[in-house]
Amino acid sequence: MDSVRTEVKALEGEMGSSDFWSDQETAKKVSKRAADLRSEVGRWEGFLKEISDLKDVATLADSDPSTSSGQGDLRDEIDASLKKMEERFAKMEFAVLFSSPYDASNAIMSIHAGSGGTEAQDWTEMLFRMYMKFAAAKEFELEALDESRADVGLKSITFRVSGRHAYGYLKSEHGVHRLVRISPFDAEKMRHTTFALVEVVPELEELPDIKIDDKDLRIDTFMSGGKGGQSVNTTYSAVRIVHIPTNITVSVQNERSQKQNRETAMKILMAKLVRKQEEARRAQESSLRGDYQSAEWGNQIRSYVLHPYKLVKDHRTEYETSDAEGVLDGALEPFMEAYLRMELSHSDRLAQANKE
């Protein structure tokens, strides 16, 4: 908490300067950051005071003979309060796990169907529904930015999830997701295995200092397409940007104008380039540990088995549950918490190795 209080004090000093509002966009971000941190400090201070008060009540109950007649009831009340505080602490501790630079940001997600036609496209739509359910439960906003529909399901979809720590939660979903089930599209009712690739990047409020030559970009415009391939409008407002050296491709069609689509596409492209650089750095740092995996098709991060038994298992953290329906209905927090704890543990080990 001391580091948070120090940051709040620094931000308040910045907000107190005479020219603070000369750049209103920056001023709003600083003000919001300060308000969020004050709220966090307030929550922890209030929680610590409640612990202190409960401790005083427990001490009084143990030491004051006058409370002995009703001590059983009082002890039950103390135990009930303690249980509620343990539940609150678990939720507050979860928030502390958001320690990476972009964890507080919105998330931009893309889901791409693997090979397998209708089965893979249906799996892509199932995953999108799972993230919609998760976002609704967290009271996050979800907005589709680009989609390519099939007769059944989705070939691909890109969407924005907006809310505090949206990226911190959802970054654990980056990778290949594997489904095993009896396919409803197979007349012989055979078991099928199919895959979808989920990409997650933070929505960058400011573009990073990455130099991109114009010759390295190919920018196409086309008509926005709705469900079934119908045109949303008659202007070429949709934008596709290809970064030629990396072959990273971003399409956006659901903003209100070509200019907005292009700006959003560039932000997503920049975020993907930042992630690519970060993955290269992590791969280099992790080479000694041998535990790094990129989000390639051969590296599944999670399996969802619906037949012959029900099990969802994360192959990075080993966390698993038999409640497959619950997971597909958006119950993802246990997987996310396990991932964040693993990430924090890796960071601690790396920091210790660097000291040695």
For residues 282 and 153, the model is more confident at 153
The answer to whether 4 and 37 are in contact (CB under 8 A) is yes
**Mean per-residue pLDDT over the chain, rounded:** 85
**146 with 216, same domain?**
yes
**88 with 183, same domain?**
no
In angstroms, the Cα distances linking 292 to 77, 130, 281, 319, 344 are 48, 26, 11, 18, 15
Residue 177 backbone phi and psi in degrees, to 5: -110, 130
Report residue 150 as tokens. Answer: 């099939």
Cα separation of 339 and 100, whole Å?
13
The answer to whether 145 and 253 are in contact (CB under 8 A) is yes
pTM score, whole prediction: 0.74
Overall domain count for the chain:
2
Q: Residue type at 49?
A: K
**Which of 72, 96, 120 lies at the terminal end of a domain, its last residue?**
96
What is the number of other CB atoms lying within 10 angstroms of the CB of residue 66? 8
Domain hosting 33: range is 2-96
Cα separation of 282 and 278, whole Å?
6
Report residue 355 as tokens. Answer: 């000291």
User: Mapping DSSP to helix (H, G, I), strand (E, B) and coil, where does residue 221 land?
Assistant: strand
**183 with 276, same domain?**
yes
Does residue 356 form part of some domain? no
Give tens-digit pLDDT for 210-226. Answer: 788 889 999 999 887 65
pLDDT score for 288: 46
**53 with 157, same domain?**
no
- Band (244; pLDDT cuts 50, 70, 90): very high
**Which of 70, 96, 122 lies at the terminal end of a domain, its last residue?**
96
Does residue 355 form part of some domain? no
**Which of 59, 74, 96 lies at the terminal end of a domain, its last residue?**
96
For residues 56 and 356, the model is more confident at 56
Flag whether pLDDT at 113 surpasses 70: yes
Does residue 102 form part of some domain? no
Residue 293 backbone phi and psi in degrees, to 5: -135, 135
> Which ranges constitute the DSSP H helices of the chain?
2-15, 24-63, 71-96, 118-137, 166-170, 258-286, 324-328, 333-355
Beta bridge partners of 321: 312
